[in-house]
């Protein structure tokens, strides 16, 4: 066994980023803007979101950012609205996002657990949304550790929340693999002294992720064979 624990990012890793968050963001932009088309484009511009194609642009800070980052971006386009109120509104709306799992999660996670691997999730989304999404997918109880940017351990690319997982399950960080779809995930993993696995179910391409990863896979389904390789 290469590892004793695996810590997953959520969006773009457990769930396909584009199929989940592009659809959600387009709807939220329209909700904030109402009938004001110019405002919709201002919000989209702050988020680096292409309204014509309804996709986040690769350089968008929101892709690997926190819910607070998204709220601050919206607030820049909608003067007079309280950032904290926008953040709460986004948090509750995100909990109802249309989830599209990257693979069939329950059997995949059961297979890893059957090999004795401890499982966790660390996302730069809120813990509230993370738990809601995992519960909706029917897999929340399969994780030993679930944390968001607001769980008290910090946010990626800082290594703190990753080390909190290793501490929670009492595993040497070197025996943990951090799995993610962004350089934030992988840089955090390296900083924590963990092995790193990149997946291509997010926005970033293999060429961007490979320098920071021990392995690059099309999706998380390939990890099952890797851990015993």
- Res 92 pLDDT > 90: yes
The pairing of strands 5-8 and 176-180 is parallel
3-class secondary-structure state, position 226: helix
In 3-state terms the chain splits into helix, strand, coil percentages (rounded to 5) of 50, 15, 40
Mind listing the domains of the chain with CATH numbers? 5-16+101-226 (3.40.50.1000), 18-94 (no CATH)
What's residue 96's pLDDT? 87
- Res 75 pLDDT > 90: yes
Residue 211 buriedness (CB in 10 A; 0-12 / 13-18 / 19+): exposed
What's residue 98's pLDDT? 85
d(CA 177, CA 226): 11
Residues facing 179 on adjacent strands = 8, 197
d(CA 206, CA 191): 20
Reported as a single tens digit per residue, the pLDDT across 19-34 is 999 999 999 999 999 9
> Is the pTM for the entire model greater than 0.75?
yes
- Res 64 pLDDT > 90: no
Write the DSSP symbol of residue 64. T
Other Cβ atoms within 10 Å of 190 Cβ, number:
18
């Amino acid at each position: 066994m290469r590892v004793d624990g695996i810590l997953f990012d959520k969006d773009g890793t457990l769930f396909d980023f584009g199929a989940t968050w592009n659809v959600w963001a387009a709807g939220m932009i329209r909700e904030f803007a109402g009938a004001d088309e110019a405002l919709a484009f201002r919000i989209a511009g702050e988020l680096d979101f292409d309204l014509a194609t309804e996709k986040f642009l690769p350089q968008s800070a929101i892709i690997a950012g926190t819910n607070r980052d998204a709220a601050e971006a919206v607030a820049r386009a909608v003067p007079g609205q309280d950032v904290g109120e926008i953040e709460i509104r986004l948090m509750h709306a995100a909990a109802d996002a249309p989830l599209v799992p990257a693979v069939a999660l329950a059997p995949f996670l059961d297979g890893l657990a059957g090999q004795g691997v401890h499982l966790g999730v660390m996302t730069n989304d809120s813990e509230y949304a993370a738990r809601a999404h995992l519960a909706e997918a029917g897999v929340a109880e399969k994780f030993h550790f679930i944390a968001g940017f607001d769980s008290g351990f910090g946010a990626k690319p800082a290594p703190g929340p990753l080390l909190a997982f290793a501490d929670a399950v009492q595993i040497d960080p070197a025996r943990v693999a951090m799995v993610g779809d962004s350089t934030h995930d992988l840089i955090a993993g390296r900083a924590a002294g963990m092995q790193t696995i990149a997946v291509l179910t997010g926005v970033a391409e293999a060429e961007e992720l490979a320098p920071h990863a021990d392995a690059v896979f099309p999706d998380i389904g390939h990890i099952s064979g890797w851990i015993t390789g």
